[in-house]
Structure 1
């Protein structure tokens, strides 16, 4: 089969690889019909290169048709249409019972000190083959896949794999209600969808970014916008718009790819050039991130407000403004999305004929799998109005 593979820093290729096979009785094999390119994939493109191995299959936003099921599978059958969550969770362990599917004890990577295994996301999270491929092995097939009906296009459902539950969790963790003001840092796919979810629930939403096309996109759906390159200070701008108080809650939907910290960027690149045996422990213990978006979040939130961190950070010793956070009595919630915890709540929104979250036209680019290398480069460079890419294998 053809699959998108990591071959080195900024070196993504589409290659022929062996087809996946049933390994455990509870496995299934799906033929991938649509699969997304995520901002988190860019972390593998460069910052997390020390944890990658040439030939790794990437991608973690797939959906498709069941082609084969293992002998232990009871609830899924050949021909079913499914979306596959990016975190691999069993549904039976203590953590899954707590709704913390991203911490699944069955697939936790204790050797790496990390949570549940993830599709296509380096040996830090299990080294599992990803979903930017023609076929995919799906574990825990009676629990993990989300069955969806025939009829609506793949674009309506594919975001259940990551974008929708990740954005939904960020809004739930932000805990906005009534007339609360929500500031969303970053208008990439997750920030954009988080803004849509919050506005659909009647909240006032301000979105900050520096890419004009992304700002225009969220503004067209009713969000207020701040171009961070056009104001002296985002926090001051937010306070000016909120009677001097600040946002009731802030979602940081940016993470380690933040714009505006050249020092951290140079450190990440320097570490990535080291041999993996040296770079891996450095990234785990002394790595730092670009923290422009996170620091702005703590500045712009009101006293007693909440910062919901959904952007992925990888630095182990990134400095935090603890004095400011303590003085302002900021509440912080964060973590990988617990996809299966939220998917049943989200599904009615996706099935609504009115498509209130605009999933049908959420993708800005629909490309064949063979164009993945160019798409990665353009997505990282924020070129060609590229916000969300989906591939058709």
Structure 2
């Protein structure tokens, strides 16, 4: 069942039943008659295929299904902010934000353009905010529209998680986990955790979005990915995010196997005679490298090539006398195959903490929690 098949007002009523304990009190709280509330509850239970409450003489007692779903409903409603937000309006604004046009939103949802336009206009009027504006031939979200779209995305994530947990309760695991993978997670820890997890949950789908932190942090904050794995930031500047450490990474200096410095442990002055390939300015590894040379009072060697791609770095090193920095996990295959060699570790100031970044408000589902546990287990094996 798709979340768009559910009525937000009916879901809000279910949350009130769980909180207040009786149909009468819940009906008054959501401004519905008791017969209308009874019909709304029956419809949602029919859609879910599960009973949410046990009807007793002293009130309504939540079932295990309600215990899973109601906290997600409350979290979604907290995100939705206003009682003027309906399922149709939420869907229309998200479709417009994701597609960038009413026509694109129509193609994505199957709804008519006038229907979507009316829903967004009604939402704007009810909230007394300008959510979209026309620029030339395009329709763009205002700052208020963009902020509301982010809020709606997080509400959608909560509802989708609630329905996924209901399906799991019925023995049908349909959850999809979306992971943002920064470079240091891709070599060992993430593949190991994915393989371990899928042995137990072969029906769960795991989508991996690769990129640098700057490319992944906004999708994480918007709810488009569930977690981000890679080097943690100290200090963490985004107050709506939370970091959990997994292990400490100790970069090494790498070169081609037959490099003139192979088999030695050169000092900084010797290393400065060779060109390097490093990530661009602003990357923590590049900043640490520049600081290392500055603190030693040595002019930093040239960096003719800037790249964070291990494939590019490997090929440049194999065909030149360039030097680079990498995590041992990233070049384990190349070192074992004797394509590259290690010239030794770098100072402790280079050490990076690798971990998981999530939204501070994020509450993982059961399968997401298991995946996090697998990440921790692989990290423990690594150390």
Larger radius of gyration, structure 1 or 2?
2
Which is helix-richer, 1 or 2? 2
Fold agreement, TM-score > 0.5: no
Q: Which has the higher contact order (CA 8 A, sep 6+)?
A: 1
TM-score interval, normalised by the smaller of the two chains:
under 0.3
After TM superposition, the score normalised by the length of structure 1 is: 0.22
